[in-house]
């Protein structure tokens, strides 16, 4: 598969997607988002891939949805084509863990893309925000829903209503970001984290991801029940037998991802 606006490659058991539209600060038009979706399809279908990293450039993870492409949309253009939801949801439906490695701007749809991922690792140069209010619109790819879950209502309100950006340190304090690293080590750190995850049992990793997502998608009791059922199901995997046997036998586990 050849791509024009992203680069998709593999590093061991990690799939790496690099947004590659530098002149527009990786602004997310339909083509970029479709290419991300196609790359994710490939990585999901590949048993040799256990985790995925999405990154951008030094200057921008992504500066948002492509403003030029949507500037003249009518309501009907947006509604009928299910603008945003139609192809962006693919990131959310990925069952393998996805890490966003963010340097520079993650604004609007760029921040929303990062929040669709499971873990955000930020360079110390990263800046996050939802500036749609300045354009006379509002976040359309989950910003008003995922940001309050990540940083709480007060800060989400402030960021979405003022359009101000927060730097990496503030984003980490607020809980949006798992870890901040020096910019020149961002990719290395993100790949190492993805590599660690990809070294574990894939079905177990998928169960953990699905279970944690339940914490954000329903009530506590439903989430606890789901977690218990998946926990019980983990005993049906060969990797659980191997992982626990290895601990008891004081050796390294040899996960076969089944």
Select from 161, 165, 176 the least CA-distant residue to 114. 176
Which residues within the stretch 208-247 sit at the binding site for ligand CAA (CB under 6 A)? none
CB of 3 to ligand CAA, least distance (A): 19
Q: Report the b/e string of 80-89 with b at 16+ CB within 10 A.
A: eeebbeebbb
| Nearest to ligand CAA of 129, 243 (CB atom) | 129
CA-to-CA distance for 115 and 92, rounded, in angstroms? Answer: 9
Under rule CB under 6 A, residue 56 binds ligand CAA: no
The catalytic residue among 24, 65, 141, 171 is 65
CA-to-CA distance for 108 and 119, rounded, in angstroms? Answer: 18
The catalytic residue among 112, 114, 123, 194 is 112
The catalytic residue among 109, 129, 142, 143 is 109
The catalytic residue among 104, 122, 126, 132 is 132
Select from 90, 128, 97, 123 the least CA-distant residue to 111. 128
| Nearest to ligand CAA of 115, 121 (CB atom) | 115
Binding window for ligand CAA (CB under 6 A); candidates: 43-51, 136-144, 199-207, 214-222:
136-144
Which residues within the stretch 96-135 sit at the binding site for ligand CAA (CB under 6 A)? 105, 107-109, 112, 131-132, 135
Those residues with Cβ within 8 angstroms of residue 67's Cβ, 6 or more apart along the chain or in another chain? 27, 135
| Nearest to ligand CAA of 132, 172 (CB atom) | 132
Under rule CB under 6 A, residue 91 binds ligand CAA: no
Select from 85, 87, 117, 110 the least CA-distant residue to 15. 117
Select from 193, 199, 168, 196 the least CA-distant residue to 181. 168
Under rule CB under 6 A, residue 24 binds ligand CAA: yes
| Nearest to ligand CAA of 68, 252 (CB atom) | 68
Compute the half-sphere exposure of residue 128: CA atoms within 13 Å on the CB side of its CA. Answer: 34
User: Alpha helix locations (H) across the chain?
Assistant: 30-45, 67-70, 75-80, 85-93, 109-116, 143-151, 153-162, 168-174, 186-199, 202-217, 220-234, 238-248
- Single residue of 140, 171, 190, 209 touching ligand CAA by CB under 6 A: 140
The answer to whether 99 and 106 have CB atoms below 8 angstroms apart is no
| Nearest to ligand CAA of 157, 206 (CB atom) | 157
223 catalytic residue (yes or no): no
132 catalytic residue (yes or no): yes
| Interface with ligand CAA (CB under 6 A) | 24-25, 27, 63-68, 84, 105, 107-109, 112, 131-132, 135, 139-141, 143
Residues labelled catalytic = 65, 109, 112, 132
């Amino acid at each position: 598969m050849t791509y024009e606006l992203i680069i998709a490659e593999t590093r061991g058991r990690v799939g790496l997607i690099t947004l590659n539209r530098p002149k527009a600060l990786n602004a997310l038009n339909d083509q970029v988002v479709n290419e991300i979706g196609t790359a994710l399809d490939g990585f999901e279908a590949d048993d040799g891939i256990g985790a995925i990293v999405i990154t951008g450039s030094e200057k921008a993870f992504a500066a948002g949805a492509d403003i030029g492409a949507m500037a003249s949309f009518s309501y009907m253009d947006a509604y009928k084509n299910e603008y945003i939801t139609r192809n962006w949801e693919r990131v959310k439906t990925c069952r393998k863990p996805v890490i966003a490695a963010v340097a520079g701007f993650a604004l609007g749809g760029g921040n929303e893309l990062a929040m669709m991922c499971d873990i955000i690792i930020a360079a110390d140069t990263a800046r996050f925000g939802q500036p749609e209010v300045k354009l006379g619109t509002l976040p359309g790819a989950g910003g008003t829903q995922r940001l309050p879950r990540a940083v709480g209502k007060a800060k989400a309100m402030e960021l979405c209503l003022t359009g101000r950006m927060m730097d990496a340190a503030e984003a980490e304090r607020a809980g949006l970001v798992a870890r901040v690293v020096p910019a020149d080590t961002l990719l290395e750190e993100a790949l190492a984290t993805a590599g660690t995850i990809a070294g574990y049992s894939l079905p177990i990793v998928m169960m953990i991801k699905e279970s944690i997502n339940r914490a954000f998608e329903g009530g506590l009791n439903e989430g606890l029940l789901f977690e218990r059922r998946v926990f019980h199901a983990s005993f049906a995997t060969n990797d659980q037998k191997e992982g626990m046997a290895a601990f008891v036998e004081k050796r390294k586990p040899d996960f076969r991802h089944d």
